[in-house]
Amino acid sequence: MIDRREWLRKVSLGTAGFALAPYSSLVNSLSAAEMAVSDIKITKIKIHRIVQKLEVPMGYCCSAGSFGMKAIATIVVEVETDQGITGWGDAAWNDGSWGGDVLRKSPELVIGRSPFDVEAIYEEMGGHGRRVAEPGGLDTALWDIVGKVLGKPISSIFGKQYRTRVMPYASAGYRKDWPDMAAGFAEEARYWTHEMGYRATKMKTGYGPETDVEIISAVREAIGPRVKLGIDSGTPGIYDDGTAVGLGRQLEALNLEFWEEPIEKYDLEGYARLKNALRVPLASGEGLPIDFVIKNYINRNTVDIVQPDICTAGFTGAKKVNYAAWLNWTRVMPHTWGSPIRIAATMHWAACIPQHSDRYLNPPPVLFELHLPHESPAWELTEKRIEVDKSDGMIAVPTGPGLGIEVIPEVLDKYRREEVEVIS
């Protein structure tokens, strides 16, 4: 087995001239670098359950109860190969969701196979929510390996890369123990948009129509008319569709970028009613199987914006979402809440989401969700921190091989509560 750094150097040299060459030429180049693509095999999968305590407890979403969220957690998926190349992903908390249960019963679905079988593995494991609800952690790790093998960032091999910088929206507005809720929401939104450089933000709602109008109006006044503002009344949506129509008409004057899950996400008839009645873009799709999102949201034009998570979709599912959404004139705005691994993956996805038309003089930006550093697990997990450019609210997409990140083992140790070798 050759040294990892030497291997990457040889691969990068060998593939530098083949970015636009036929696949067979690329394979020959890799063979000359002492490693044929077909020789690389997956040998082990490990998961790291990581937990980070919150400095300030907060209420989950629209909950009017106690501020019971005191920690945040995720799973880091680590996939090893026989050539010392490791891929990383970020997944759901339980084995049943991300595929651990399936792999323990049928390890041959992954172990011993090439990471270049990533799309076949996704299908055979029952991605799209057929057997595995959230296959994205493993899928991301395999795409990370493929990118590292080719010496290319995922966004350059995943599809057409439309942009090298992407715009996050600050996912703020969880309920804190504020003496004045409207003032608390307003000050938090003002800080992240005016002082930290975000050009878009989202806040949690669902406290009743009167309170929602009050707090959303306060935030809009605090951030001004030019900052993009979305609101979130889920998960699940707190209102019935009749109440949502009445509230939505009051909110139309506030120039909202989107309203996420105003009603229960499976209420397709309710969404159709809202879409016909309101001048507020409707958004949904978080946590739903990709098949459901495409069939019921995109193909039926049920909502204006779909919000699947890379944890649910993986890059393999994201490719299908991108095409279906482009075909049906639906915006894609990826949801995310996880470690910097998941954030980096989402940035690569956002870089490849097509605009509906290149004839627009001012098309809506491709946004993605970014939870605040102090409300995300293991923010310092990677060598290069995620930073918003205060001059325009954008973040540069990583340009290194694969996800373009380096996981810091000591930080992983710091937040890890459990390590499990799933299969080997």
Closest alpha carbon to 93 in 130, 139, 128, 137: 137
User: Which of 27-31, 69-73, 112-116 is least confident?
Assistant: 27-31
Instruction: Give the amino acid at 18.
Output: F
Q: Could you report the per-residue pLDDT of 266-297, keeping only the tens digit for each? A: 999 999 999 999 999 999 999 888 999 999 99
Closest alpha carbon to 184 in 174, 194, 170: 174
The pLDDT of residue 63: 58
Q: Could you report the per-residue pLDDT of 337-364, keeping only the tens digit for each? A: 899 999 999 999 999 999 877 667 788 8
The pLDDT of residue 115: 97
Predicted TM-score (pTM) of the model is: 0.89
User: Which of 24-38, 119-133, 189-203, 267-281 is least confident?
Assistant: 24-38
The pLDDT of residue 31: 45
- DSSP string covering 122-156: HHHTTTTTTS-S-THHHHHHHHHHHHHHHTSBHHH
Q: Span 32-39, mean pLDDT?
A: 58
* pLDDT higher than 60, residue 93: no
The pLDDT of residue 422: 75
In contact, 97 and 133? CB cutoff 8 Å: yes
In contact, 133 and 289? CB cutoff 8 Å: yes
Confidence of residue 254 (pLDDT cuts 50, 70, 90): very high
Confidence of residue 131 (pLDDT cuts 50, 70, 90): low
Domains in the chain (CATH in brackets) are: 4-152+409-423 (3.30.390.10), 157-396 (3.20.20.120)
Average pLDDT score, the chain: 86
* pLDDT higher than 50, residue 7: no
